[in-house]
Chains A and B, each alone.
Chain A
Amino acid sequence: MTVPLVEARGLTRRYPLKRKGLLGPRLVLTAVDDVSFSLMAGRSLGIVGESGSGKSTLARLVMALEQPDAGSVSFNGENLAGLSGAALRDRRRQFQMVFQDPFSSLDPRMTVSHVVAEPLEVAEPTLTRSARRDKVAAMLAAVSLPDEALDRYPHEFSGGQRQRIALARALVTGPRLVVADEPVSALDVSVQAQVLNLMADLKEARGLTYLFISHNLAVVEHVADDVLVLYRGRVVEQGETADVFDNPAHPYTRALVDSVPGIDAAGARERIRLKDGGRHAGAGCGFAGRCPFAAERCRIEVPALKDHNGRKVACHLVG
C-alpha cells in the first residue's frame, strides 16, 4: 500500500486564554481539535472554514511550525515530532508554504533574486553563486516572470506578480508539498485566475501535492480533489470535493454551500437559516448554537466523525 505524503492523526492544538479575573477559571481555546486526514502524493486537499475555524493553525501544524498538544503529522511515513532540529530542517526542503498577502510576506528590502535565492542558501549551501543564480532564473521563468525581474524589488510588482514571486520562492528548493494559505484571496478575480492556472501548471509539471486553505468555496471547489470542512477546530465533513459540494450532508456544509452568492441566481433563494448564535459553551456539538436542526443530544454530546456514503460527517442527525 502506498504511504500518504502527509498523514495527520488526531491533531490537536490548544491555546491558553486570559483568565477572567484573578480567580477566574483558566480557559483554553482548542484551535484544532482531533483532526485527521491522509493526503496522497499528487492530490490536492482543500481546507475550508470561516475565520476562527482553525484553518491556519492546522497549516502551521502540518508545516511543523507549531507542535501539536496531541496527535501527529507524518511526512512520507516519518513522524515529524520525533525529528531533531537538523533532521527537521532537512525535511523542510520538501514542504513549503505560500501565504495570502504577497505584500507583507516578501521582504521589501530584498531584490527578487535575493528573495527567491534565500531558501536555496539554507537548503543547498554548497551551490556556487552562478549555479544559484541559474536556478533562480529558471524558477522565475517557470512562474512566467521575465529575467529583468531579478534585480528589482517586490514593491515594483503588482499583486499577481508578487504571488508569482512567492511561488518561485516556495518552489525553488524542489518541495513535494506546498501548503497554500489563502494564496489568491488578496487578488482581483482576473488576476486570481492567472495564479490558479499557474498553480495548476506547476503542480502538473513538478508533481506537487497541495494543501490548499481558503474561505472561498468556489476556489477550493476548483482546485481541490478532496475537501475538509472545519468548524471551530473540528472536522464536520470530509470527502471528495465534488461529492461534498454537490451533496453536502452536514448542516454547516449545507449552509456554507447555500451562502455563496452566485451570479446566475439573482434574487432571494431558499437557504438554511443559521441562527445568529454565539459560541455554544456546552459540551456538545460546536455548531449547535447556530444549527437550525439542533436537538437536545447535540447540546450534550460531541458528534463523532463517522463514515457516511463514502465520506465522513460529524453530525448526530446524519446517517
Chain B
Amino acid sequence: MSALLSTANLTIALESGEAPVSIVRGLNLTLNAGETLGIVGESGSGKSMTALALMGLIPSAMRASGSLRFEGQELLPYDEARMTRLRGARIAMIFQEPMTALNPVHRIGRQIAEGLMLHEGTGEAAALAEAARLLDRVGISQAAERLGAYPHELSGGQRQRVMIAMALACRPELLIADEPTSALDVTVQAQLLELIRDVVAERTMALIIISHDLGVVAELAERTIVLYGGAVMEEGPTRALFTAPHHPYTRGLIAALPGRGRRRGRLTAIAGSVPPPHLMAAGCPFHGRCKYSGEDCRVMMPPVTQLGQSLVHCHREEAIH
C-alpha cells in the first residue's frame, strides 16, 4: 500500500534575481493513513511554507520542486483544478488565526455547509443539518441556533472550533493544523488540542500538526520532524525525540525551554539567531550556531544517520553520539 502523503526532495524557493532563495530544502516525508506527524521549528524554519506547499497554496513568487504525492498521485507541478478538488475535500487545513480564514460577512452555518455543497453536491438543507451536527461535535452548544451566527459573535476558541468543523465537513483523509492554538489562552488551547486529538482518532484521519511549541506537538503527534532554516535536523518518535534528542539543535532547543524542575537555574541558550534565507550557506543551516561545526558543515548538506530511534541529519555523528 502506498503512503497517504509523501514528499521527496521537496524544495520551495523564491525565484528572485539571479539565485533562487530556498525556504524549504529537500524535505522527505512519508505519512500513512491515520498517522499523526508533528513539524516543529522556530520562525524561519520553513514549517508554514511546508504546510502551504502540501495544500498547493504557496505564494506565486515561490516555486516548488521535487516530488509531492498524495495517495500515489504526483501533485507537482501544481495543477490548480486538481488542487481545488483535493483542498477541503481530501486535505483540510486549520490556521492560527481563524478570523482570516472565516468570511466575516457570512453566517458560520453556511460556511461549514459550503464545502459539502461544493465538493459533494449535497443539497443546502442537508448540508446545513450536517453543519449543525459538526458544530455539536466540536463542542459548540445549541448548535442548530448557532448556525446563524457570524464569526465576530464568537470567542477566539469558538471560532477555532468552527474552523475545525469546516475542516471536518468533507471527511478529509488528511488534516493539516498550522499553529492551531497559538493565538489562544492556555486553558482554551488545552481543550482544543483534546478536541483535535479526539476527532482525528475517531475518523482515522492523518494529522500534520505544525507548531513552534514543542509541548503542543508532543500532545498530538506520534512522530515529529524538527526543522531549522528550511531543512530537517532530526526526526523520530515524538517521545524519543524530546526525551533523548541527538541533534545539537534539538538538544539546544529542549535545553533552552524554561519549565518544571528547572526553576531558577540558568537556561542554556543557543547563541546567535537564525540567519535570513538569502544568507544561508549551502550546508547545514545550523552550522553558524553549532559548537560542533566545521568546514564540511558549512559547504555540504549533512548525511542522515540512525541514532537511537531517531534519524539525525548531522555531519558530527561521532561527536554527538
Contact = CB atoms under 8 A, between A and B. Distances in A.
Given A51-B185, A188-B212, A188-B274, A222 B267 contact: yes
Interface string A67-103: 0000000000000000000000000000000000000
Contacts of A265: 218
Interface string A197-221: 1001000000000000001011101
B213 interface: yes
Nearest to A159: B273
Contacts of B219: 261, 266-267
Interface in A246-268: 255-256, 258-268
Given A191-B273, A271-B190, A264 B267 contact: no
B260 interface: yes
A30 interface: no
B22 interface: no
Given A261-B215, A263-B218, A274-B187, A197 B42 contact: no
A238 to B, nearest CB: 18
A192 interface: yes
A259 B186 contact: yes
Contacts of B197: 268
Interface string A122-135: 00000000000000
A21 to B, nearest CB: 17
A50 to B, nearest CB: 4
B288 interface: no
A64 interface: no
A161 interface: yes
A219 B213 CA distance: 13
A221 B258 contact: yes
B186 A190 contact: no
Given A189-B256, A189-B257, A190-B253, A161 B273 contact: yes
A197 B216 contact: no
A304 interface: no
Nearest to A222: B258
Contact of B259 (A51, A222, A266): A222
Interface residues of B, number: 48
B157 interface: yes
Contacts of A160: 273
A239 to B, nearest CB: 15
B267 A221 contact: no
A276 B243 CA distance: 33
Interface in B216-243: 216, 218-219, 238-239, 242-243
Given A191-B270, A192-B256, 7 more contacts: A193-B267, A222-B262, A241-B263, A261-B189, A262-B259, A263-B243, A264-B218
Interface of A: 50-51, 158-161, 188-194, 196-197, 200, 215, 217-219, 221-223, 241-242, 245, 255-256, 258-268, 271, 273-274, 276, 278, 290
6 contacts: A189-B214, A196-B267, A256-B187, A261-B213, A263-B254, A274-B191
